[in-house]
A and B are shown apart, each in its own frame.
Chain A
Amino acid sequence: MEEMIVKKRGFAFYLSIYKKILIQDLKSKMSYRADFIISTFGMIMTNLSGFVTFMILFHNFPSINGWDYHHMLFLYGFSLIALTPVQCFFDNNWNLRFMVRSGDFIKYCFRPINVFFYFISEVFDVKGIGQFVFGIATFVYAWAHIGIPVTVLTIAQAVVFLITASLFMIALMNFSAATCFWIINSGYVMVIMFRFKDFAKYPASIFNSIFRFIFTFIIPIAFIAYYPSLVFVTPDDVPLISWLSPFIGVVFFWLSYKFWMYGVRKYDFTGS
């Protein structure tokens, strides 16, 4: 009998597996060209409609709470980019409750790889790319008009803050999707979270202290755009919480992952 070898699967392993699944997935999606085109069109329509709403608002009201047109645009673009990863990479969370309820979820538990990774890797949502392009365009336009200097530091900051900001929405989605391990028909939790995220594009300063508290500490959507944006928009007066937001993002994401995995371990897997 051979020695039991403990096979190591590190970051590089997962990256290469993800890449392979992604390529295969894209190939098979190409065979549904009509669906691809209609979905992409739909995604562009959603973004366009959001943008039109935004423009109509500013057509009537030149500034909101001291935030002028270009500053609001910056916030808007920032939120669009930060909301892209959740759309592209974590969309399978929407299917979680159906899989768990039907018993199909168990198949993710038989492979020698991380269950969360395996589950999430199964769906890559191409449509998010449209949103990403839209967001980048808005972001760059606003960046230029506000006159934020283009230095290595500001660009590095933008990358770090955008990535960590995206972790907040991913974490919110993980948390709300994982409720299905305990609550039957918990779909409404996700729907509610996704409705709240619409407010990520507004400055949190418009809310009163109770809601600011909620959006900072309970449903932290203020971290998706508002707090990190302050680093760029008001560089002379950045609150501590903005600087801390990358760390909070990482911790929050990690907690959501743990919660998700805890749900898997505690679930009964009856129904088969």
Chain B
Amino acid sequence: MKSLRRLTALTKAGVVESLQFRLGTFVTLFANLIYLALVYFLWKAIYASSGTDVVNGMTFYDTMIYLILATAIFNFLEMFIVWDMSRAIQSGEIIMHLLKPMRYRKYMFWSYSGSLVMSFILTFIPTFLVVVIVTKGAVPVGWNLLAFVLSLLLALVINYNIEMLVAPICLYTESTWGINIVKETIVLLLSGASIPLAFFPETFRKIVEFLPFRAVYDIPLTVLLKKNGTDSFDGLINAIVIQLIWCVVLTICGNLFWNHAVKKITVNGG
């Protein structure tokens, strides 16, 4: 009970902090709308040039919904753990974190939860509603919404674990920028955030299926749109199970790597 109160305190602090940057939030929101308009024009031109309505099982509306919500998920999931950790390492602050009663990995997760809640309410839900209303029925509304929320929650955990798997590399090298950019490009490309996985060439897609990244963007979105076999119960369970497996695998890997990396701090004395 006491630990729960501590966790909610962290969440609350995060909410307050992100509220203080409201002008920035407002401008960013506005810019996101423009950005979405650009995506719209781009794909409209692409589909207009292709001559057919359905490409690789995706209609123009499917692609739009997929990409817009991918952007919304991107904004929702965006964490700066790699940056935070490298700064904490360089300033020596990491030692303070290690001395705190709460495990560092847990601490990071819950201190981010506040801004996650905020961005979910402030950016994700509005975007989602606008998409549902504007596309007039292109988003199937039913039990898939529930599955989507569950899948999104798993995606969040997976994304956090990917971050936590990458961040400790900062203990071995000062190259934060390099590490971060490599992580970001790989995640965005291979998760289907910049272009739907359905468009990938056959062999390429086969490879990507075996990587954890698609569990962050592609799986929640295909679940929502009932694509790729997730309209059947078996297909849906299959998708969620894949996410669960990645959750477990990445958490274990992350823990092992973190424990190994922490030894490096104690050896070096910070």
Contact = CB atoms under 8 A, between A and B. Distances in A.
Contacts of A30: none
Given A38-B179, A42-B179, A65-B45, A199 B174 contact: no
A204 to B, nearest CB: 10
B47 to A, nearest CB: 8
A35 B175 contact: yes
Interface stretch (B20-28, B128-136, B138-146, B155-163): B20-28
Contacts of A52: 189
A188 B38 contact: no
A201 B50 CA distance: 19
Main secondary structure of the interface of A (DSSP, over half): helix
A208 B41 contact: yes
B269 interface: no
B171 to A, nearest CB: 13
B177 A63 contact: no
Nearest to B199: A60
Contacts of A160: none
A49 interface: yes
B49 interface: yes
A34 B175 contact: yes
A187 B24 CA distance: 9
A211 B21 contact: no
Contact of A188 (B28, B177, B188, B199): B28
A202 B42 contact: yes
A56 B195 CA distance: 8
Main secondary structure of the interface of B (DSSP, over half): helix
B178 interface: yes
A39 B177 contact: yes
A149 interface: no
A65 B38 contact: no
Interface in B165-203: 173-175, 177-182, 185-186, 188-189, 194-195, 199-201
Interface stretch (A7-15, A19-27, A189-197): A189-197
Contacts of A120: none
Interface residues of A, number: 42
A52 B189 CA distance: 9
A32 B175 CA distance: 9
A192 B29 CA distance: 10
A64 B49 contact: yes
Contact of B41 (A38, A49, A195, A206): A206
A155 B200 CA distance: 37
A185 B22 CA distance: 11
Given A53-B195, A63-B49, A207-B41, A38 B182 contact: yes
Given A39-B177, A42-B182, A49-B185, A211 B41 contact: yes
A207 B181 contact: no
Nearest to A191: B28
B211 interface: no
B19 interface: no
B55 A60 contact: yes
B56 A206 contact: no
A52 to B, nearest CB: 6
Given A38-B173, A65-B45, A211-B37, 17 more contacts: A34-B174, A35-B175, A45-B182, A45-B186, A46-B185, A57-B46, A61-B47, A64-B49, A183-B23, A186-B24, A187-B24, A188-B27, A188-B28, A188-B31, A192-B28, A196-B31, A214-B34
21 contacts: A34-B175, A35-B175, A38-B173, A39-B178, A39-B181, A41-B182, A42-B178, A42-B181, A45-B186, A49-B185, A65-B49, A66-B49, A183-B23, A185-B24, A186-B24, A188-B31, A189-B27, A196-B34, A196-B35, A196-B38, A207-B41
Interface of A: 32, 34-35, 38-43, 45-46, 48-49, 52-53, 56-57, 59-66, 183, 185-189, 191-192, 195-196, 199, 202, 206-208, 211, 214
Interface of B: 21, 23-24, 27-28, 31, 34-35, 37-38, 41-42, 44-50, 55-56, 173-175, 177-182, 185-186, 188-189, 194-195, 199-201, 204
